[in-house]
Amino acid sequence: MFLLLPFDSLIVNLLGISLTVLFTLLLVFIIVPAIFGVSFGIRKLYMKTLLKIFAWATLRMERGAKEKNHQLYKPYTNGIIAKDPTSLEEEIKEIRRSGSSKALDNTPEFELSDIFYFCRKGMETIMDDEVTKRFSAEELESWNLLSRTNYNFQYISLRLTVLWGLGVLIRYCFLLPLRIALAFTGISLLVIGTTVVGYLPNGRFKEFLSKHVHLMCYRICVRALTAIITYHDRENRPRNGGICVANHTSPIDVIILASDGYYAMVGQVHGGLMGVIQRAMVKACPHVWFERSEVKDRHLVAKRLTEHVQDKSKLPILIFPEGTCINNTSVMMFKKGSFEIGATVYPVAIKYDPQFGDAFWNSSKYGMVTYLLRMMTSWAIVCSVWYLPPMTRETDEDAVQFANRVKSAIARQGGLVDLLWDGGLKREKVKDTFKEEQQKLYSKMIVGNHEDRSRS
């Protein structure tokens, strides 16, 4: 039998009191507000305080750079060098005019100088690749005291270095343990809650409990990221029997949307912890999970989705048609599958504020565990969500045109660049159809000019 000395007993008592106080604070200020969907405004106050600190740090860094005659790096807006749009024919005519006087009569035949157009376009694509830059972190103009987000962080004064060190202690020694505890709480409650609800008979009561269990758990997980989310036009939120489509930046997009709405998820069946969560969730809610062997069967996927949306009592399906994560500066090509089944589409635009932390998941560079660690050691996740009016496919519109129309609406609302490129290009080679399209444009220019000349 062990006897505690007075000093040891005091330490145990203090530790017990500290844990009790911490649990009470978590319960009162985080878990209970998450259950009822209310906020005390603490996170917004925290965000405003951070903005003031970031502004001071940036000014101090710029002043130090001027004193040392260093040039600060200034990124382009959205990482893009703006260019005036011109057609293939116009650019080739310009090269011919600058290359030789013979070309001034707009000769329609092939000229050797035309090759330089394609060579130049190839070099421009390599130097200013619109695709590859969408899969790297967005560079910031201001410094947010995270050394991983700004090229200028080496120009730091002693006071800024001390402030940065203090920030590291706060993020890793206080925020990280708190966020891990909240994430564990949210995931545990999700698994336990959905498993218990799954044993109830089908009916309104089960649906009511399932909805509120999902919302409560996702809201706790949102607080585990210190996420500050502003939802706009909530009257346009997706309804039963529809499909919710959104631009995709991060796996946490699901949590961001599911903390404000009740959705049926679509995805592949996983093993491990994710598999446990999926099996628990599907007991309480009709999610659509596919086996690994079924994912590549487009007809089977379309059939399952069609059956789901035709039942107007079932929840809206949540889909990210880009099929991969983009760095939130643009929207890339939407896969046409979800636009072929004839359901009402509810577009949603998600725009993250990178000042507080980069939400983009570069899956080719970071594993899921590393990514989540970076999220939980950021200052916060701040984003805006816009619910756009529902859209339906028009009679003279095919699935690709409908997908592009929805994509353009999302890009326009979120202030993102609308790109035609397939996000899958980050792991695959350019399709032959893209190369053939340029060849057809050039041949059409030559052949078309010949036909016009013969008619005249």
Res. 390: pLDDT tops 90: yes
Compute the residue count for the chain. 456
DSSP state of 28: I
pLDDT greater than 70 at residue 454: no
Query: How confident is the model at residue 101, as a pLDDT?
Result: 43
- Confidence class for position 287, pLDDT limits 50, 70, 90: confident
Whole-number Cα distances in Å, 82 to 76, 78, 92, 407, 417? 9, 10, 20, 21, 11
Residue 257 has pLDDT above 90, yes or no: yes
Least confident of 240-244, 412-416, 425-429: 425-429
| Residue 253: HSE in the Cβ half-sphere, 13 Å Cα cutoff | 28
Q: Where are the beta strands (DSSP E) in 291-333?
A: 317-319, 330-331
What are the C-alpha distances in Å from 90 to residues 85, 106, 450? 10, 11, 17
The string over 407-417, giving b where at least 16 C-beta atoms fall within 10 Å of a residue's C-beta and e elsewhere, is: bebbbebbebb
What is the predicted pLDDT for the residue at 286?
Answer: 81
Averaged over 365-392, what is the pLDDT? 89
pLDDT of residue 59: 78
Q: Is the pLDDT of residue 200 over 80?
A: yes
The string of DSSP letters for 360-398 reads ---TTT--HHHHHHHHHTSS-EEEEEEEPPPB---TT--
Q: Is the pLDDT of residue 260 over 70?
A: yes
Averaged pLDDT for residues 273-290: 80
At 2 the three-state DSSP class reads coil
What sign has the CA pseudo-torsion 276, 280, 281, 285?
positive
3-state secondary structure (DSSP) of residue 228? strand
Phi, psi values for residue 320, rounded to 5°: -115, 95
Sign of the C-alpha dihedral, residues 195, 198, 204, 210? Answer: positive
Bridge partner list, 243: 317, 345
Per-residue pLDDT tens for 432-441?
A: 666 666 667 6
| Stated pTM of the model | 0.74
